[in-house]
Amino acid sequence: SPALLEVSDLVKHYPVRSGVLRRIVGTVHAVDGISFSVGVGETLGLVGESGCGKSTVARSILRLVEPTGGTIRLNGLDITHLGKAAMRPSRRSMQIVFQDPFASLNPRMTAGDIVGEPLTVHGIATGRKKSERVAELFEQVGLRPDQMRNYPHQFSGGQRQRICIARALSLDPKLIVCDEPVSALDVSIQAQVINLLIDLQGKHGFSYLFIAHDLAVVAHISHRVAVMYLGRIVEVAEKTELFANPRHPYTQALLASVPLADPRAKRLKPMIDGDVPSPINPPSGCAFHTRCRHAMARCKIERPKLTETGTRHQVACFLNKETGLSV
Ligand code: SF4
Ligand code: MG
């Protein structure tokens, strides 16, 4: 499918300051040069442990943070440094659903006003036309139109996330970035919300960038999956290919820790040595070398590039490059 979103060499670094003089003592490598694309009607899952930079990627794409480097293209248009006015049409095409549906809803607004607000802001509908559209959006996400009068606290967590989804849908977006949209919900509710997202995509044909720390959650909704580690993408492949033939040692360890047959089962301890290093001045070379059982001398010095290894399967690891085999 043609690329709707194209991210090239995206970098986001933050200075770390300390002391009375606020001297720069280090750099947070939140996103450290990543490239990926999302096709029309496609869902790309972006998975990795917390702190690996997933949310920074989301916020950079939505232009909520200014990238340090790289380019972001939407429908071929470079939006990386567009000003507010020039950004307006693209802003309409991209919506975000955040992790915490309570924090992202104004407690003093009715659910109907929350969902209808983007229609007002973008001058699309007012009055009766607007309430009809909002009622339709409520039905699309499985809420009753009479619930439009209620306030966020009168809804369950799952229903609040449905309100956020309805608001995201209101402008007929082409891309919805979902940043851990079910992580704050009960496991029993997670599948319902994910199935709703899948149904909506079937009806409207938009694309998702679906971010989660949990491979099991990403597995169900994604067409392709990108695995992130310390600000970098270490592996990308079609979902079935990635799960059947994971090539990066980090992906292999992540997969080994996910009992996919029963997502409610107690998680096994991830088969990775040690903790995630700090993104402040991260390890040299392959950022995973401090935890990798296969690390070689060159892994500490050289940074492996994301390289095509088969049909649409890319991996950033010297081991695969040298042997052509999975580890
Ligand atoms: Fe391990 Fe080296 Fe591959 Fe990095 S490049 S994952 S350290 S073998
Ligand atoms: Mg996050």
pLDDT in tens, the chain (327 residues): 579 999 999 999 998 898 888 998 888 999 999 999 999 999 999 999 888 999 999 999 999 999 999 999 999 999 999 988 899 889 999 999 998 877 889 999 999 999 999 999 999 999 999 999 999 999 999 999 999 999 999 999 999 999 999 999 999 999 999 999 999 899 889 999 999 999 999 999 999 999 999 888 899 999 999 999 999 999 999 999 999 999 999 999 988 876 555 554 444 444 566 778 888 888 999 999 999 999 999 999 999 999 998 778 999 999 865 555 544
Which pair of structure tokens corresponds to residue 304? 């492996």
pLDDT of residue 325: 52
Question: Domain 3-323 maps to which CATH number in 3.40.50.300, 3.40.640.10, 3.40.120.10, 3.90.1150.10?
Answer: 3.40.50.300
Q: Is 229 in the pocket of ligand 1 (CB under 6 A)?
A: no
73/247 Cα distance (integer angstroms): 29
Domain ranges of the chain: 3-323
Helices (H), 22-61: 54-61
pTM for the model stands at: 0.92
Q: Is 299 in the pocket of ligand 1 (CB under 6 A)?
A: yes
Residue 127 CB neighbour total at 10 angstroms: 7
307/70 Cα distance (integer angstroms): 19
45/239 Cα distance (integer angstroms): 9
pLDDT digits (tens, 9 = 90+) for 246-300: 999 999 998 887 655 555 444 444 456 677 888 888 899 999 999 999 999 999 9
Helices (H), 186-291: 187-204, 215-221, 239-244, 249-256
288/229 Cα distance (integer angstroms): 7
pLDDT digits (tens, 9 = 90+) for 194-229: 999 999 999 999 999 999 998 888 999 999 999 999
pLDDT of residue 201: 98
In testing the pocket of ligand 1, which one of 319, 322, 325, 327 has its CB within 8 Å of the most ligand atoms?
Answer: 319
Nearest residue (CA) to ligand 1, atom 6: 317
Which pair of structure tokens corresponds to residue 77? 């248009």
Atom of ligand 1 at shortest range from CA of 294: 8
148/184 Cα distance (integer angstroms): 23
